[in-house]
Structure 1
């Protein structure tokens, strides 16, 4: 069980706005995808520490450009990023959970907090 305290307001928003008609894993994934796509105001800056089998790569300052495609987000919420100062040819895909957001507006931060809360509570697609 999660050690994150239940937040009734956040639970209601998730239930009534994000997962309102979700019947299966794909529906839940797409509910989150479209909610985040609508609520995150791109671009914003973040630090990216890519987590892999060999540990955590050194942090990079990145600009978060937008959501990855909906097909790519069926297992996790992914975004397109580019290293600060990089070119459009250097776009990579990163998990939202691998980012430490630096300068998001309040709508973006609330949506991200909803996603992080949902994961911390142990919910899954």
Structure 2
């Protein structure tokens, strides 16, 4: 996948709000977790925008995102707990696009997807 074009406004927000004062991979993961936990209004409806080998969702399928997964589960990638086909499970947040969510939810999930699409990693 080609890297997404650099967005200076998003870069600044991420550096000043999500990973500010994070000096190691664990601190960056915790920073992202707290940033998303504070800004995402759960529950919200979401659509799968990309398939992943670790997820049962197919592009276009919809789920209800209920909460962030545990902090321990988000030390390498951000996951959300969803309700899908009568089951609860964790899915990669970068796989989802919010539907009819509030502005902060849309922006913060967009920030995470931007981070992933740019090829950034904790570290």
TM-score by length of 1: 0.83
1:76 aligns with 2:73: no
Q: What secondary structure, in the 3-state scheme, does the structure 1 residue paired with 2:70 have? A: coil
Matched residue, 2:104: 107
* Alpha-carbon distance, 1:61 to partner: 2.5
Is contact 2:94-2:109 (8 Å) kept? Answer: no
CA root-mean-square deviation: 2.2
Matched residue, 1:123: 120
Q: What secondary structure, in the 3-state scheme, does the structure 1 residue paired with 2:107 have? A: helix
Structure 2: segments with no counterpart, 5+ residues: none
* Alpha-carbon distance, 1:124 to partner: 0.5
Correspondence 1:14-29 to 2 at 5 A? 14-29=14-29
Structure 1: segments with no counterpart, 5+ residues: none
Larger Rg belongs to: 1
1:57-91 Cα offsets, whole Å, 9 max, x none, are: 5454211001000000001100000026x3xxx21
TM-score by length of 2: 0.85
Off by >3 Å, runs of 4+ in structure 1: 55-60
1:73-118 Cα offsets, whole Å, 9 max, x none, are: 001100000026x3xxx21111112223222111100001111111
Q: What secondary structure, in the 3-state scheme, does the structure 1 residue paired with 2:110 have? A: helix
* Alpha-carbon distance, 1:50 to partner: 5.6
